Amino acid sequence: MRLSTSEAARRPSGFLLAGWLLTLALGVSSAAVVVHGARRDVRSGEATIHLSLGQASDWQTSSFRVWSDGQYRLFVSTVNFDRPRVGLKFDGELQVVVRRGDGTTLLDQRFNPETTDHRIPYNYGDTRLGNLTLEKARIRPWTVAVRVTRADPQFAGVASEVKLWRERVDPGMGGMLTYVLILPALVLLLLAIVLSGALARRGRKWPLAISLVATGAFLAAFIM
What's the rounded Cα separation, in Å, for the pair 189 and 55?
Answer: 49
Instruction: Based on the fold, state whether residues 218 and 160 are members of the same structural domain.
Output: no
Q: Is residue 32 part of a domain?
A: yes
Per-residue pLDDT, averaged over 214-221, amounts to 86
For residue 138, is it within any domain?
yes
Does residue 167 share a domain with residue 85?
yes
- Mark whether 180 and 166 lie in a shared domain: no
Question: What percentage of the chain has pLDDT greater than the value 90?
Answer: 61
Which pLDDT score, from 0 to 100, does residue 75 have? 97
Does 153 fall in a domain?
Answer: yes
Does 161 share its domain with 57? yes
Structural domain total, the chain: 2
Whether 213 maps to a domain, the answer reads: yes
Q: Which residue has the higher pLDDT, 5 or 188?
A: 188
Residues 160 and 55 in one domain: yes
Examine the domain organization and report whether 84 and 192 are in the same domain: no
In the prediction, which pLDDT does 56 show? 94
Other CB atoms within a 10 A radius of the CB of residue 213 amount to 10
Does 144 share its domain with 90? yes
Confidence class for position 187, pLDDT limits 50, 70, 90? very high
Q: Residue 5: what pLDDT?
A: 47
Is residue 194, in this structure, part of any structural domain at all? yes
Residue range 84-102: mean pLDDT, rounded: 95
**Sign of the torsion formed by the C-alpha atoms of 111, 116, 122 and 126:** negative
Task: Look at residue 194 and give its three-state secondary structure.
Answer: helix
Residues 55 and 111 in one domain: yes
- Residues 20, 97, single domain; the answer is no
What lies within 8 Å, CB to CB, of 19 at 6+ separation is 195
- CA dist 127 and 77 (Å) reads 6
Domain end: 150, 171, 192, which one? 171
Most confident region among 41-55, 78-92, 128-142 by mean pLDDT:
78-92
> Could you tell me if residue 3 is inside a domain?
no
Q: Are residues 131 and 109 both part of a single domain?
A: yes
The whole-number pLDDT of residue 166 equals 87
Largest CA distance in the chain: 91
Question: Model pTM?
Answer: 0.65
Q: Across the chain, what does the average pLDDT equal?
A: 86
The pLDDT assigned to 203 comes to 85
14-18, 38-42, 105-109, 154-158: which range is least confident on average? 38-42
Inside any domain, residue 61: yes
Average the pLDDT over each of 41-45, 87-91, 100-104 and give the range with the smallest value.
Answer: 41-45
Domain that holds residue 205: 15-40+174-223
Of 132, 155, 171, the one marking the end of a domain is: 171
Does one domain contain both 31 and 122? no
Which pLDDT score is estimated for 124?
96
- The runs of H, that is alpha helices, within the chain are 5-41, 177-180, 182-201, 206-223
* Dihedral angle of Cα 65, 69, 74, 79, to the nearest 10 degrees: -60
* pLDDT in the model for residue 35: 79
User: Is residue 8 over pLDDT 60?
Assistant: no
Q: Is residue 209 part of a domain?
A: yes
Q: Is the domain of 212 the same as that of 146? A: no
Q: What CATH number has the domain bearing residue 70?
A: 2.60.120.790
Residue 193 in this model has a pLDDT that exceeds 90: yes
In this predicted model, which residue has the larger pLDDT, 213 or 176?
213
